[in-house]
Structures are given as C-alpha cells and as structure tokens.
Structure 1
C-alpha cells in the first residue's frame, strides 16, 4: 500500500484525509511515477468542493488531490515510447499528485531538464504552462504593453516573467502585500480598488495592448475597458464573463510540447519557479490551506519522497 492525500466527499477541508491505496496500474500510454514533489494549486480545493473541468468525469471517491507532479518512472504502460524506467519526469496527473505514486499520460509528460529540481519541475504543468499558453495566444509584439491581473499569483507571476522576456512592458494588478513581488518581476504594480482603470491608464500612458486576466468577476469587467481590441482580452479566471465582454478564455494546449518548452524556459531562468513553502505529504492539508487562503506568495509544493 502507498500513502495519498484525498477528499472522501465534496466539501471543505473537513473531507480531506491521508489514505492508503494500491499504486495505480499504468494503462496504454501511461507512466507509473514514484512521486518526488507535487504542486499545490487553487483548482485542487475547487475540485474538492465539487467543481469539474469541462468534459471531466464525476469524482470517484476518495479522489486524490493534486493536478501536477514530478518524480521517477517506476513502470511504463503498453505502447509507451520515448520514456523508460528511471527517467526523471513531470506532468499533469491522472490519479492525483498528493501521493507516493501517480499516473502521468505521456501526452502531458516531459523529462525534467538538467539543472531543474523535482520541486521546481512539479510547479510547471499548471501555472507556468497556463502563462505560456496565454502569452503565446496574445502574440503581442515587443514594445507592447500587457496588463496582467492577479500578477502576484502563480500564473500571473509566470506571465509577467515571460512577457518581460519577450520585450513587453507589463502592468500588474495585485494586492499591496504582493507589491514587492510584482515589482521584482519587472512589472509596474497597481493595487485593486477605487479608480482602478484610471490608475492603470496612468501607469500605461501609451495605452494597453493586451489584458491577461487571472482574477475574473468585477475585476475583469473593470479592466476590460482599458483595451480597445477585445481579441486581446483573455482570461483564465472568468470564462463566462469574458465571452460577454468580447474576449476569450486562455486556449490551453495541454501537451508535451508545451511542457518541454516551459521546462527549457525554467531551466534557463526565464520561468524559474518562485517557491515560498514546501510541506511533507503528511502535512498536505496545511499546504492546501496556504493556497486556499489566497495569501500565498509564490508557489507551494508538497515534497513526497527523497
């Protein structure tokens, strides 16, 4: 038996538990991975609360938490090519990342590049890949100005890093508590609150050419007015609202090629993860609380094994 941290029914933190389960069997095109680290993301507690991604099957309870992980290939399923036992890999999980063992489909798995730790690699499939997909979707030329809302979070911080690497000017909205983080990434910080649009325009006197929203809700509605071309308004935080506003959701690639690209960018230092806290598996609940509170600065990671 192997340890895993799961939710036993939909609800709040009270439904979480450390459980024993048999390591899952890898099917065709799958890797059984001995987990070394798992990233913690807001979607984890949303899934616990009953949210399902479009097309995602209902939860089979208990469901192990965690959408991304890194580790070492223990076994390969039928038809797997390009991966072997002992390879250091990371990717999006099929059977939860808060666990000693998980399954990665080869379609959303990649090798951990030299110079990148397992802890760093475990943070890439959700936050870094979403940022990469969004910035690539906007396709703004160098010298343009990008507004990133929620710039102090995992996706937002990576979006700022990548945009600056591509020669964009960046204005980032975030709480005052995250001002230093946002400015350290090279963005002009603007705090939410009254007269937000006026303060954004003051920070970007030549105008805003694109908006990458990670907040949604009224914040998204407010900032939509700063960009004239609504094809350059995208969100990962308010998909229904952005359609009403004439924009679109971030088109997620969710493929191995994207993971290879973000891994190379991370290894080179462009998307180097900003990890602020790590927890062992038996304290996974504390790790999730840190993210669920909304006050985490940078990424939180669960270290599962040596």
Structure 2
C-alpha cells in the first residue's frame, strides 16, 4: 500500500457526497469529480484505504447538525490509509506512513468538506496516529471514533480499579470498546454489559463478568447497582436507576441531567496511548460479520448501519 505515496496525486477524486439532508438512500451520491482542497500547514493528505461508518455520519447526513454543517460534503469520520503529502508544519509523519484516525477533531464544529469516504482525505496531524503494525487497514479504520469515545468517557467519570461498571449497549461499535477498555486499561472491579440474547457470549469474550440479556432482564431493576453506568444507546432514565448513590452516568446520546453528556475531542494522543493494548491483542477491533462493504456499496452500508443491529463496526473497503 505504501507505494501509493509515490504515485501522482490527482486534482479531483471520487467521493460519496450529500448535497441535501436525508437518509443515505435518498441523498448520498457518488461524485467522480470532487476537488482536493489546498493542504494547510498542519495537515496531511491521506490516500484512503478503508473508512468506517458511525451513527454520527448518519445523523449529520439527516441534518441533525445543520447549524454547524456545510453542504455539499463528503461523508465519513474514520480513516485508515497512507500519507502522500504533508503541510510544512507536520513533524510526526512522512510520505508512505500508514496512519489512522477520526478526522473530525470536534464532531460538531468545523465540518470537513472531504470526509473519509473518498479516494483521498485531509486531516490535521494531531488527530492521526501511526497504524499498529498488527492491524489491517480495515481493523484500524474501525477503531478511532469508537475507541476514543470509549476511553474519554471512562476517563471523564473516573473509572478505576475499585469501581464497577454497567455498559448499556455492550455489543455496539462503542460498547465493545468500553467493555474491553474497562477491563484491560482501567481495571474495573466488575463489568456488566447489556446485549440481545445472541450476543451474550461475545460480551463474555470481550471481558464482561455479567452479560445481561436486555430482552429478558430489566437492568435497572437488578438489586445490584454500579459505580459507573456508560449509556451507549440513549436510555438515560433507566441508567440513572442502575447507578449507585454518588455514582456517575455518562452517555453518548443527548441525556437528561444529572447524567453527563459526553462529546469526544478526536486526538491521535489517545490512539498512541492505547497502542500497546492494541499491539498486544488485549484490546481488539470488532467488525460486524456482515459489516464489510465495497466502496460502491456505501448506500447499502449506511442502510445496514441505520438498523442499529450491527455488532461492532461497519467498514468500507477497498477504496479505489
């Protein structure tokens, strides 16, 4: 893949663009003629190899963030690829480096004209990290937004070795990373996590001590309460009933107080911090069994993502 670094960089590229708001099947179109903008001093140009989809991509496309968005835009946050050009201030990367990251530093501010679902994309140096050598481009692309959201949320509520945690939505893109980080990075004393019946074994394999079948058990009615509840699905009212007095609820879906709404700041620093856990295999990427789609299947990939049934992540690969 690194050979791409030496190839000629085109002035126009293919990218999946929306020019109005709506669901992907109505508004997402492949544009064969997207202009590549000028590179700023702190940015790198990446030849995209793989890109992951996230619920925030769908929400943005549907117009949830109109006040901080501009259209037309190429969709996509998560990228894995090869550096082909650097701005004059870039110090940590060189041509040919294999990198990954969430290219939106702050998801609701400073929207990108070219997201990751294109042949090339541009990102600030500070949001990127070198791809762990043991991960494929597909695996690397699946991680940034989910693992950074998981890590920053756990850090914000001060999860530590003596604390227990309940993860609501443990089998999703963020939830699978929260379970693993709670165990291997933060060393939680007990990890409970919810999923549907068929995913309970997966939760165990990721490190959950108490997998909870949400189709059969109301977790908020369990006698046991938790120091931390991480709500990855938007069930704040129920989450608040599952937390110990003095404990904390963090949610990635707009909550009611006193839960803490958590919005990530994308940074390559967290990816670098987690590199040893990824390279040792303690923390693993998780791609949905049906979640690998070709570049031409981007609309189908979003349709699948929007079912909210994916286990782990949905990834687009290969990208021409």
Normalising by structure 2, what TM-score? 0.85
Output aligned runs, 1:232-247, within 5 Å.
232-239=248-255, 241=256, 244=257, 246-247=258-259
Contact 2:226/2:247 (8 A) holds in 1:
no
Aligned twin of 2:43: 30
Does residue 94 of structure 2 align to residue 73 of structure 1?
no
Output aligned runs, 1:181-260, within 5 Å.
181-187=202-208, 188-192=210-214, 196-197=218-219, 199-201=221-223, 205=224, 207-216=225-234, 219-229=235-245, 232-239=248-255, 241=256, 244=257, 246-250=258-262, 252-260=264-272
Deviation at 1:3, TM superposition (A): 1.1
In structure 2, the CA distance between the partners of 1:200 and 1:164, relative to structure 1 (3 Å rule), is farther
Contact 2:15/2:117 (8 A) holds in 1:
yes
Q: Which stretch shifts more, 274-283 or 246-255?
A: 246-255
Aligned twin of 1:60: 71
Contact 1:37/1:303 (8 A) holds in 2:
yes
- Paired residues, number: 293
Deviation at 1:268, TM superposition (A): 2.0
Contact 2:19/2:71 (8 A) holds in 1:
no
Contact 2:48/2:319 (8 A) holds in 1:
yes
Aligned twin of 1:121: 140
Normalising by structure 1, what TM-score? 0.88
Output aligned runs, 1:26-175, within 5 Å.
26-52=39-65, 57-61=68-72, 63-93=73-103, 94=112, 95-165=114-184, 166-168=186-188, 169-175=190-196
**Cα distance in 1 for residues equivalent to 2:221 and 2:44:** 49
Structure 1 vs Structure 2 CA RMSD: 2.1
**Cα distance in 2 for residues equivalent to 1:114 and 1:195:** 41
Deviation at 1:290, TM superposition (A): 1.4
Question: What is the DSSP-based 3-state SS (H/G/I as helix, E as strand, rest coil) of the residue aligned with 1:232?
Answer: strand
Q: Which stretch shifts more, 248-257 or 131-140?
A: 248-257
Structure 2 unpaired stretches of 5+:
1-11, 104-111
**Cα distance in 2 for residues equivalent to 1:302 and 1:230:** 42
Question: What is the DSSP-based 3-state SS (H/G/I as helix, E as strand, rest coil) of the residue aligned with 2:133?
Answer: coil
**Cα distance in 1 for residues equivalent to 2:284 and 2:304:** 21
**Cα distance in 2 for residues equivalent to 1:253 and 1:49:** 22
**Cα distance in 2 for residues equivalent to 1:229 and 1:103:** 46
**Cα distance in 2 for residues equivalent to 1:67 and 1:57:** 15
Aligned twin of 2:8: none
Between Structure 1 and Structure 2, which shows a larger proportion of helix residues? 1
Question: What is the DSSP-based 3-state SS (H/G/I as helix, E as strand, rest coil) of the residue aligned with 1:228?
Answer: strand
Contact 1:70/1:119 (8 A) holds in 2:
yes
Aligned twin of 1:263: 275
